[in-house]
Structure 1
């Protein structure tokens, strides 16, 4: 249910469980983290999904069985954030709950116009993963982050773009094709130069 294409300089990691809105099982979450950790030599990594939803977050049955508090959520987002290549979340649809962490950890987030964004863990009785509110706050500020986590607001793609949660709404063509186009320059560049430029773009801690 997690497909990895590592055949070229640009890796693609695809969530393929559209009949369940790409909700993540424990096995899928572990496979995602494994793939992210293995992508150290990739010039770029694209995360995307099959169907009309990028991911509904944790599978509800798996969440009740303990997946909601699994350390693999933080393992996944930390692995993506640490990748030296360009990382792009090509959001083919709605992004919800714990799955938000992998997109927040990416360098760029692009989405289809129909996408929406929400993180309803408080209502479900869970805490978010520790890094997720911090990364979101760095993108959209503390007040808007509280709109999502505490006020339970669902953001449209247009609002997410206005807030800075995503970087582009893809109006023509597929979101995956747009992500591939964004990787064109880096895939033909000296990896050492590209990685140094990425490190220069990181905010000072």
Structure 2
């Protein structure tokens, strides 16, 4: 797993970095498992006060690794592994800061909904291309994004699925701050150190209070989303879209 993730602890900060730069940090089932283990470990470590989630290379996370998901489609645990990751990141007791240097696609964007602070480079781009791939929203996005932006804008983001800028993501409330690319790491670490310097139990209790009223509903939604997502993976529409993606061509839905 060490080759897929870079994990370091410095002072009160645990840095977890996706480390598949050659694949734009696309998530595979082993990478989901590694992330889940790393997040739980950091959350349970008494020396850690803040978790920093970042990446190596120019991309943050380009979404699910399509080839890996097609290969794992028949596995009975294929749905459980991403779902456990989502439940884990959504239920962390300690604050998590995401640092986004570049592309954040699909789950690369929806996982940010469960982070407490998100700082992005001015070069970052975001996209939720679920319907374009014959799929449906995941990661709690069908609940959380309409809460943030309303139905019509959520429909635009989750169904039309076009790419949008870091400035737009900030204006929509999906991220907190946009900074110059060359300053991203320094400014993110400054925020992380500030957060780590606050009263740790007060921070944890405040986070729990902010989420307590919606947590059970979010968990139900994430389960339903994953089940529908898995069902869509076996659809003819998704087969066409995913094959088109692999062949680097436009999907043809004219026969459906």
Fold-level similarity (TM above 0.5): yes
Please show how residues 70-109 of structure 1 align to structure 2 within 5 Å: 70-109=79-118
Q: Pick from 58, 67, 78: which aligns with 1:61? A: 67
Structure 2's unaligned 5+ residue stretches are: 215-256
Q: Point out the structure with the larger strand share.
A: 1
2:33 counterpart of 1:24: no
More deviation, 44-53/32-41: 32-41
TM value normalised by structure 2? 0.73
**Deviation at residue 53 of structure 1 after TM alignment:** 0.8
Deviations 1:41-72 (A, max 9, x none): 331111111111101111121121236x6332
Contact 1:100 1:132 in 2 (8 A): no
Please show how residues 34-183 of structure 1 align to structure 2 within 5 Å: 34-40=37-43, 41=45, 42-66=48-72, 70-129=79-138, 131-171=140-180, 173-183=182-192
Deviations 1:99-135 (A, max 9, x none): 3232111011111111111121222222232512222
Q: Point out the structure with the larger helix share.
A: 2
Contact 2:132 2:160 in 1 (8 A): no
TM value normalised by structure 1? 0.89
Give the whole-Å Cα distance in 2 for the aligned partners of 1:124 and 1:172: 30
Q: What's the counterpart of residue 18 of structure 2?
A: 15
Secondary structure of 2:25's partner?
coil
Q: 1:16 to 1:47 in 2, by over 3 A?
A: same
**Deviation at residue 149 of structure 1 after TM alignment:** 1.3
2:9 counterpart of 1:6: yes
Q: Which runs of 4+ in 1 moved over 4 A?
A: none
Structure 1's unaligned 5+ residue stretches are: none
Q: 1:44 to 1:118 in 2, by over 3 A?
A: same
Q: 1:39 to 1:141 in 2, by over 3 A?
A: farther
CA RMSD after TM alignment: 2.2
Give the whole-Å Cα distance in 2 for the aligned partners of 1:200 and 1:130: 21
Give the total of aligned pairs. Answer: 205
Give the whole-Å Cα distance in 1 for the aligned partners of 2:39 and 2:141: 17
Secondary structure of 1:55's partner?
coil
Q: Which has the larger radius of gyration?
A: 2
